[in-house]
Homo-oligomer: A and B are copies of this chain.
Amino acid sequence: MKVVCIGSGNVATHLAKAIHEAGFTVSQIVSRTEENAKKLALSVNAEWTTSPDDIEEADIYIYSVSDSALCEIIRLNPHKEGLHVHTAGSMSLSLFADIKERGGVLYPLQTFSKGKAVDFKDIPLFIEASNANDLNILRELASAISNKVYEASSAQRQQLHLAAVFACNFTNHLFAIAESILHEADIPFEVLRPLIQETIDKTATLSPREGQTGPAVRKDFNVMNKHLDKLTDHPRWQEIYRLLSESIIDNH
């Protein structure tokens, strides 16, 4: 099975390496950025190009590019045949309709950062395809790189992507705020790690709703007002504090 990987960002890089390490042939890397294309191609023993016209023929084309670039690059790929697969959480399978004959999705539910390796085996992969045969091909590819392969419709995947923004992107931003607050008191972020780890560990035995702790769920307005006072110099964080506390109170 010959795979062409289109894109050279975080997702493309981690995915191309996982496919290569699973023993599949990554034949070509396609990227607008020559330097990135070369670098990734070297690490997976592939050819590379920056020109869509030079995309080679393959069994599978995997597009891991920004949502805004996705439709255009699919259109620019001269090959009609083969299985065309995107990796975007929020994009529908239907965007392949009328452009390619066979479309699919392989969505890795994970956050990828440059310079931080991840083990693909543990990453949930959500697959979808326009026909049963292609779903089998995707299942074979996905199962070779991860132990957690699920089928999901486009609608389900969009809910997943939305939930992931809350659970990962917004959570990480709360960590960034906490880090800034600690920094003002000369305390390293490090000391929060056991607390954060326990917050997650708890969700294995208690649902997040059941496991809620803190001043808001206790309706301890005395503590909440003290905290809001301490945030006077940070009106944005104060607004976040107020809104999330109200949401917790509403929810309990």
Q: Is A199 an interface residue (CB 8 A)?
A: yes
Contact with B along A163-204 (1 / 0, CB 8 A): 111111111111111110110111101011111111110111
Q: Is the beta-carbon distance between A110 and B187 smaller than 8 angstroms?
A: no
Q: Do the beta carbons of B195 and A90 come within 8 Å of each other? A: no
Find chain B residues with CB under 8 A from A195 CB.
Answer: 109-111, 124, 164, 167-168
| Mask of A87-118 contacts with B, CB within 8 angstroms, 1/0 | 00010000000000000000001111101101
A16→B158 CA distance, assembly (Å) = 47
Q: Which 10 A-B pairs have the closest CB atoms?
A: A169-B214, A159-B185, A175-B208, A176-B208, A167-B178, A163-B178, A163-B181, A166-B178, A156-B185, A170-B244
Q: Which of A57-100 contact B (CB under 8 A)?
A: 66-68, 90
Is A206 an interface position by the 8 A CB rule? yes
Question: Is B250 touching A236 in the complex (CB atoms < 8 A)?
Answer: yes
* A204 CA to B113 CA, complexed, in Å: 13
Q: Among B160, B182, B240, which residue has its beta carbon within 8 angstroms of that of A160?
A: B182
Closest to A236 in B: B247
B179 touches A208 (CB 8 A): yes
How many copies, total?
Answer: 2
Q: Is A231 an interface residue (CB 8 A)?
A: yes
* A129 to B94 alpha-carbon distance, docked (Å): 65
Could you give 5 example pairs across A and B, Cβ below 8 Å? Answer: A111-B214, A116-B205, A161-B227, A172-B203, A179-B207
Does A1 touch B at the CB level, under 8 Å?
no
Q: Supply 9 further A-B pairs (C-beta < 8 A) apart from A162-B231, A167-B178.
A: A150-B191, A152-B187, A167-B195, A170-B240, A170-B241, A173-B244, A174-B174, A189-B208, A240-B243
The count of residues in chain A whose C-beta lies closer than 8 Å to any C-beta of chain B is 96
A141 contacts partner chain B, Cβ-Cβ < 8 Å: no
**Is the C-beta of A251 less than 8 angstroms from some C-beta in chain B?**
yes
Contacting residues, chain B, for A111 (C-beta < 8 A)? 195, 198-199, 202, 211, 213-214
